[in-house]
């Protein structure tokens, strides 16, 4: 990718071969993504007839100063490149164009022909570059927002140390920040840090003054060496990490030492762990993410703490159980698991264990009275609310006379009769005292018939009582509906008779 050395090599080529010559032809590509905020025709009109005065650069940006504004500027992006026909200009992997390809290239975004026949072209295969037409590029964004140029405006050791002491970000992230220092890209940053033996994730504020001096010297040396060979990577020194940056992990080595790859500053980063090390505390804080590897392993600095913690595991587990916040279900139990029911059950179990069971059904009824009634017992539905209580209350006096064949309890009374008396004595719920629906006004005759049927059926045994009650209640409700509708049925029958006596109307033709 074009970084400071590649852009500087292009600037020097233009300065050597094109300065002082006049533009007689210009062709601008119709590509709004690259040609920024100016039409091709306006751009061409601003170039034709102008003379090239100088070529300037800051960071990765290049612009051409003409004899009058506006001036064309170039932001190289990922694959931008300057080509001069017949002149060897630096080539790099993503911008290389073969000699046998058409000229100008189909990737050309700006093409100019000079008065002596020399032709210049700016190409961009990947279309991440920007070509602008500006009145004063140095005082307008993006060039005005750049930090000091790494080559043209070098810092002193004291200045660099003071700036780094205020930054807690990893050193490579800071070097890639163009507002901090312009011109350093991914491969230059890796090479500089490798030559300075500084880990890419080392916090900038923790660098010593000696490390800052070493870093500054390596920045100058790497950039100057790259420019001296025209940014031709094949001529870079053999001991540079640059030559192994694009190899696969496990197969990348420099001077016999293994190269690892991590992500720093959002970019793939090559470094040599054997030479570029972090101290224990800094390695925990930095937490570099190895490329292609998971981070499920524990950090080395936590091993001692784990061993100490294992000794106190039982105590810690008990404390954790106590300190755990209770869930909603534990704090607010729902449904029929309330405390009153649990108490009732425990009282019944205690009485059974103490041997206080007399074997009588009356005692069981008393225990049932103590238990909280369910919703269905408290809120009976339909027209079986009040009639059922009345039928049982009327039928209870006759039970002692009719049930002569039943079993008696220890006191000499009939067990079933005692049950009915207990039920009759129970306090009636409010909804039983105020029943709703049609069952409120039942005829007296119907009630007497139901009570007679009740007394006759109960003489057959205790097991038939429940069934007879349900059957009588059903009959009672049916009779109540019939008697309630008798008056309505008479009036309805008269209306039907009158309606049938009418003659059908004849349809209009």
Strand ordering across the sheet containing 61-66: 52-58, 61-66, 71-75, 130-134
Rounded CA gap, 212 and 244, in Å? Answer: 26
Q: Which of 441, 440, 444, 400 is nearest to 420 (CA)?
A: 400
Helix-strand-coil split of the chain, %, nearest 5 = 45, 15, 40
CB 133 within 8 A of CB 72: yes
Q: What does the DSSP assignment read for 77-117?
A: TTTEEEEETTB-----TTT---TTS-SS-TTEEEEEEETTS
CB burial string 53-64: b at 16+ within 10 A, e below: eebbbbbbbbbb
Known active-site residue 60: yes
Query: How far apart, in whole angstroms, are the C-alpha atoms of residue 53 and residue 64?
Result: 8
Cis ω before 104 (30° cut-off from 0)? yes
d(CA 233, CA 6): 10
Q: What's the distance, CA 325 to chain centroid?
A: 25
Closest CA to 170 of 265, 263, 262: 265
Coil, strand, or helix at residue 236? coil
Separation of first and last alpha carbons in the chain: 96
Please state, in angstroms and rounded to a whole number, the distance separating the CA atoms of residues 35 and 29: 8
How buried is 417 (Cβ within 10 angstroms: 0-12 exposed, 13-18 middle, 19+ buried)? buried
**Is 328 considered catalytic here?**
no
Q: Is residue 2 among the annotated active site residues?
A: yes
Give the three-state DSSP class for 404: coil
For tokens 């049950």, the residue is 419
Cα distance between residue 178 and residue 180, in whole Å: 5
CB 275 within 8 A of CB 258: no
CA distance 40 to 30: 6
Query: What is the C-alpha separation between 390 and 441, in angstroms, rounded?
Result: 13
- How many other β-carbons are positioned within 10 Å of the β-carbon of residue 93? 9
Contact 18, 52 (CB under 8 A): yes
DSSP states of 365-420 as a string?
Answer: HHHHHHSPPPHHHHS--GGGSHHHHHHHHHHHHHHHHH-TTSPB-TTSSBHHHHHH
> Distance (Å, rounded) from C-alpha 278 to C-alpha 266?
19
Q: Out of 5, 6, 50, 60, which one is annotated catalytic?
A: 60
Report residue 36 as tokens: 């920024």
Name the token pair of 183. 């011109």
User: What positions carry a catalytic annotation?
Assistant: 2-3, 60
């Amino acid at each position: 990718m074009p970084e400071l050395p590649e852009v500087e090599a292009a600037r020097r080529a233009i300065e050597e071969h094109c300065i002082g010559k006049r533009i007689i032809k210009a062709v601008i590509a119709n590509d709004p993504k690259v040609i920024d905020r100016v039409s091709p025709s306006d751009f061409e009109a601003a170039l034709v007839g102008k003379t090239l005065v100088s070529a300037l650069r800051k960071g990765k940006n290049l612009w051409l100063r003409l004899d009058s504004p506006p001036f064309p500027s170039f932001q190289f992006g990922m694959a931008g490149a300057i080509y001069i026909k017949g002149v060897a200009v630096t080539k790099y992997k993503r911008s290389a164009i073969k000699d046998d390809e058409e000229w100008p290239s189909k990737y050309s975004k700006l093409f100019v022909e000079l008065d002596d026949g020399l032709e210049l072209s700016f190409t961009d295969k990947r279309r991440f570059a920007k070509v602008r037409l500006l009145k004063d590029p140095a005082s307008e964004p993006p060039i005005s927002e750049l930090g000091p140029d790494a080559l043209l405006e070098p810092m002193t050791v004291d200045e660099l140390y003071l700036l780094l002491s205020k930054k807690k970000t990893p050193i490579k992230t800071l070097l890639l920040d163009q507002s901090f220092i312009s011109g350093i890209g991914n491969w230059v940053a890796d090479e500089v840090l490798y030559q300075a033996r500084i880990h890419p994730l080392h916090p900038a504020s923790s660098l010593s003054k000696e490390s800052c001096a070493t870093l500054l010297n390596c920045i100058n040396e790497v950039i100057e060496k790259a420019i001296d060979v025209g940014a031709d990577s094949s001529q870079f020194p053999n001991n540079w990490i640059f030559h192994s940056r694009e190899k696969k992990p496990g197969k990348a080595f420099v001077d016999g030492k293994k190269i690892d790859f991590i992500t720093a500053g959002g970019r793939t980063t090559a470094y040599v762990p054997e030479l570029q090390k972090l101290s224990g505390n800094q390695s925990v804080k930095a937490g570099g993410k190895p490329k292609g590897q998971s981070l499920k392993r524990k950090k080395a600095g936590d091993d001692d703490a784990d061993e100490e913690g294992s000794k106190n595991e039982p105590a810690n587990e008990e404390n954790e159980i106590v300190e755990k916040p209770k869930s909603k279900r534990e704090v607010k139990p729902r449904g029929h698991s309330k405390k009153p029911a649990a108490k009732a059950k425990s009282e019944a179990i205690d009485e059974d264990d103490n041997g206080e069971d007399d074997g009588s059904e009356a005692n069981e009824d008393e225990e049932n009275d103590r238990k909280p009634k369910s919703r269905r017992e408290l809120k009976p539905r339909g027209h079986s609310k009040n009639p059922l209580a009345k039928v049982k209350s009327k039928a209870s006096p006759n039970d002692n006379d009719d049930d002569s064949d039943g079993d008696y309890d220890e006191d000499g009374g009939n067990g079933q009769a005692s049950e009915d008396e207990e039920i009759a004595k129970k306090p009636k719920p409010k909804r039983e005292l105020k029943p709703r629906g049609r069952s409120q006004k039942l005829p007296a005759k119907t009630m007497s018939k139901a009570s007679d049927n009740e007394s006759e059926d109960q003489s057959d045994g205790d097991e038939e009582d429940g069934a007879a009650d349900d059957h009588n209640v059903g009959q009672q409700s049916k009779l109540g509906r019939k008697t309630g509708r008798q008056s309505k049925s008479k009036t309805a029958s008269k209306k039907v008779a009158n309606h049938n006596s009418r003659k059908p109307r004849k349809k209009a033709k």
